[in-house]
Amino acid sequence: MSFAKDFSKAMSQSGPSQFQEVIRQELEYSMKVELDKILATAPSNELEHTKNDLEGFKKLFHRFLQEKGPSVDWGKIQRPPEDSIQPYEKIKARGLPDNIASVLNKLVVVKLNGGLGTSMGCKGPKSLIGVRNENTFLDLTVQQIEHLNKTYNTDVPLVLMNSFNTDEDTKKILQKYSHSRVKIYTFNQSRYPRINKETLLPIAKDVSYSGENTECWYPPGHGDIYASFYNSGLLDNLIGEGKEYIFVSNIDNLGATVDLYILNHLMNPPNGKRCEFVMEVTNKTRADVKGGTLTQYENKLRLVEIAQVPKAHVDEFKSVSKFKIFNTNNLWIALSAIKRLQEKNAIDMEIIVNPKTLDGGLNVIQLETAVGAAIKSFENSLGINVPRSRFLPVKTTSDLLLVMSNLYSLNAGSLTMSEKREFPTVPLVKLGSSFTKVQDYLRRFESIPDMLELDHLTVSGDVTFGKNVSLKGTVIIIANHGDRIDIPAGAVLENKIVSGNLRILDH
């Protein structure tokens, strides 16, 4: 008998019923039995860690069974009050105090480093992909913080939240920074079991996660940072060293650098009341319609993601006019507040149910949470509407082309838009499937084109670029199936559509 089907059927009926409760208890009991079997296979040196992980998963699974449907009550969603999202300009206008070094010494930089480079065709941690002049995401992060520490004679540490997918490779590479002026710490996010979509039971039979068992486990999203950071002991150590705030961001967001004005606003608030949680948001463009947005919900700031929106309201949610901003996932959070809430088990984050199909065709689900969703659990939260330049994520090779180009200049690990570009917007770049993998993308560009005057680039099919190509305005290059286009060295394409066949042969 499939309890999962009965359960979803029961849950779709309104109101709690005895039937729902019986099935829920059956599922929880079955899950406990399976998790105990898995725990029994853990070697003694992994026992404590595995037990923590499985306990955390059990809590998440319990909540998953309690919650009905992904929807928020749309009628309760309101625009946030004016003063709950401050413009960055207003915060910057306050200037900086003379003692900025003592403010910086209260800060810890945390980078979310759990992801692999698989979507860009790379093996290993995404943070080790070269993005600019042979520098990886991790290199640039270390350079930025080292520059701060040298400039202000401070001790801002870097903390990496790794996953079981990235931990080993990351630790090997950290040796190369042993002489840099940045203390680097790591902790691991949890390792949770994927569950069969039909039976709602783990597909793992034991604790191992190598070889064919790799697919049985997953890191449960970055919302796991609160529990993992706390459980690692690192949170208490940093509080003991006098640290007060963490600045958390995705390691692939090259715009997420330490901002002294925001930090000063946190440490020296104008009204004397400190914020426990600050979320950097930025204005939506048509490209960002799916991003989570800040709303007012039951008198608290609340992050609403597209997955939580009732189907009938998805278009309204995507509207750029009603919900003008989205979450950059650059967050500033008080360490003492994380400790307090974690100890009270009071951090409330909606569960994201992420369906996956494994290589063998098995349908599984993984239960995840998002770090920003906890905003409603913190006191005195604030949104800051920051310039778009603080959101520069590299998710695809199209993004990589932008950050490798002359649109940006690199200084002490930070990328800034070139002064030679006359307008500050970033061009829209869409590279086709021939460019998806980093190695294919690099092979197709002899050198990165001049893009200072580019507005829009679309490339599709078998296309290569020679040296010193210049792209301006709107450029569309389409090689149909079986055709190949070689853009010759030194070519200047301005407002051009190129299609058909173009081969340049050396003789």
- Annotated catalytic residues are 395
Within 10 A of 378 (CB to CB), how many other CB atoms are there?
22
Contact 256, 250 (CB under 8 A): yes
Q: HSE on the CB side for 319, CA within 13 Å?
A: 8
Asked if residue 224 belongs to a known ligand binding site, the reply is no
**DSSP H or E run through 168:** helix 167-174
Asked if residue 221 belongs to a known ligand binding site, the reply is yes
Asked if residue 252 belongs to a known ligand binding site, the reply is yes
| Separation between Cα atoms, residue 498 and residue 475, nearest integer Å | 8
**DSSP H or E run through 10:** helix 3-12
Q: Token pair of 101, please?
A: 């070094």
Residues 154-174: b if buried by 16+ CB within 10 A, e if exposed? bbbbbbbbbbbbbbeebeeee
337-346 long-range CB contacts below 8 Å, 24 or more apart?
Answer: 337/276, 337/277, 337/378, 337/379, 338/226, 338/229, 338/230, 338/235, 338/246, 339/230, 339/235, 339/236, 339/239, 341/226, 341/374, 341/377, 341/378, 342/226, 342/227, 342/230, 342/235, 343/230, 346/377
| Separation between Cα atoms, residue 143 and residue 147, nearest integer Å | 6
- E-strand stretches of 287-400: 293-297, 300-304, 325-334, 352-357, 363-368, 382-385
| Separation between Cα atoms, residue 62 and residue 68, nearest integer Å | 12
Asked if residue 90 belongs to a known ligand binding site, the reply is no
Alpha helices by DSSP H, 232-300: 234-240, 260-267
**Among positive and negative, which fits the CA dihedral 263, 242, 338, 143?**
positive
| Separation between Cα atoms, residue 460 and residue 130, nearest integer Å | 24
Asked if residue 481 belongs to a known ligand binding site, the reply is no
Asked if residue 183 belongs to a known ligand binding site, the reply is no
For strands 158-162 and 184-188, give the pairing.
parallel
Q: What Å distances lie between residue 125 and 109, 172, 208, CA to CA?
A: 19, 12, 20
Q: What Å distances lie between residue 111 and 125, 127, 283, 484, CA to CA?
A: 13, 10, 23, 41
Strand partners, 301: 296
Any residues with CB less than 8 A from the CB of 452 and at least 6 apart, and which? 406, 407, 418, 420, 421
- Classified as helix, coil or strand, 375 is helix
Residues contributing to the annotated binding site for substrate: 222
Q: Which residues are annotated as a binding site?
A: 126, 189, 221-222, 252, 395
